[in-house]
Amino acid sequence: MPVVQVQNVVKSYEDNGRIVTQALRGVDMTVEPGEFMAIAGPSGSGKTTLLNLIGALDSATSGVVRVDGRDLSQMSDAALADLRRDRIGFVFQAYNLIPVLTASENAEYVMQLKGVAPAERRKRVAELFAELGLQEFMDSRPPKMSGGQQQRVAVARAIAAEPAVVLADEPTANLDQATGRALIAMMRKLNRERGVTFIFSTHDPMVLEQADRVVRLVDGKVASDDRKPAGN
């Protein structure tokens, strides 16, 4: 079953009943488990809007968005909140870590909301921090960490909860080139070794180079959907 299905999705913004912006104009897209893909396009093309619809952070004007087989338009606000917590991981360009919590506590936070036992939470975070080179920052708080370190913690938080898909909105935007490249290499490794499905919204050429598939939006429509040949 596809992780994400987007069928003829339109997203319009209105002012006093008049459409002032049509961010998406009949978008179709299917994402299979284990994909490492990017949604690209110039500013205003609709890529962040599409990611927000997939993440159940916003709703479509028309059309269907399914995540993990569930039609988001047919779900209550409470059910959508549960879906975001249980099945969708988020990585934002602003990191969105809680400054008063340590790095490990931040990484455990979503699992805590899901009711994962403390011992299991600690075990998963310890394994991920070792894999991501974060062992020495377990007890550090975000204000004392670099941008790259904070973004790695954000990735650990998204992955530890074992979601169906991780959505990353411009994850390299606030990082220097070397740190951004290292972050994407780390996410690529998680994709290959753990089978984590990643969908990026990006205009970073380095991210596009690493993606197995690039869906390009222009003026709210899919202009191209390109996949790399297997093995590349």
First to last CA, the chain: 25
Look at residue 119 in the predicted model and tell me its pLDDT.
Answer: 95
Is the distance from CB of 48 to CB of 66 less than 8 angstroms? no
Question: Domain 35-43+76-227 maps to which CATH number in 3.40.50.720, 3.40.1050.10, 3.40.1710.10, 3.40.50.300?
Answer: 3.40.50.300
Higher pLDDT: 130 or 50? It is 50
Mean pLDDT, residues 10-22 = 83
Q: Hey, what amino acid is at 216?
A: R
| Residue 223 contacts residue 39 (beta carbons within 8 Å) | no
Q: Which residue, 118, 1, 139, is CA-closest to 67? A: 1
Residue 230's pLDDT is 65
Q: CB neighbours of 184 closer than 8 A, spacing ≥ 6?
A: 171, 172, 206, 207, 210
Average pLDDT value for residue range 44-51: 92
List, for residues 75-100, the tens digit of each pLDDT value.
999 999 999 999 999 998 888 899 99
Tally of CB atoms within 10 A around 13? 11
pLDDT (tens digit, 9 = 90+) per residue, 167-222?
A: 999 888 888 888 888 889 988 988 998 899 999 999 889 999 999 999 999 999 99
Q: Per-residue DSSP letters for 147-185?
A: HHHHHHHHHHHHHHT--SEEEEESTTTTS-HHHHHHHHH
The fraction of the chain above a pLDDT of 70, given in percent, is 99
pLDDT at 229: 76
**H helical segments located in the chain:** 47-54, 77-87, 103-114, 118-131, 147-160, 177-194, 205-210
Tokens of 45: 């093309």
Res 20 pLDDT > 80:
no
Exposure class string for 75-90: b at 16+ Cβ within 10 A, else e: beeeebeebbeebbbb
The domains of the chain are located at 35-43+76-227
- For the chain, the average pLDDT equals 92
- What pLDDT was estimated at residue 231? 58
Average pLDDT over residues 136-145: 94
Inform me whether the pLDDT recorded for 132 exceeds 90.
Answer: no
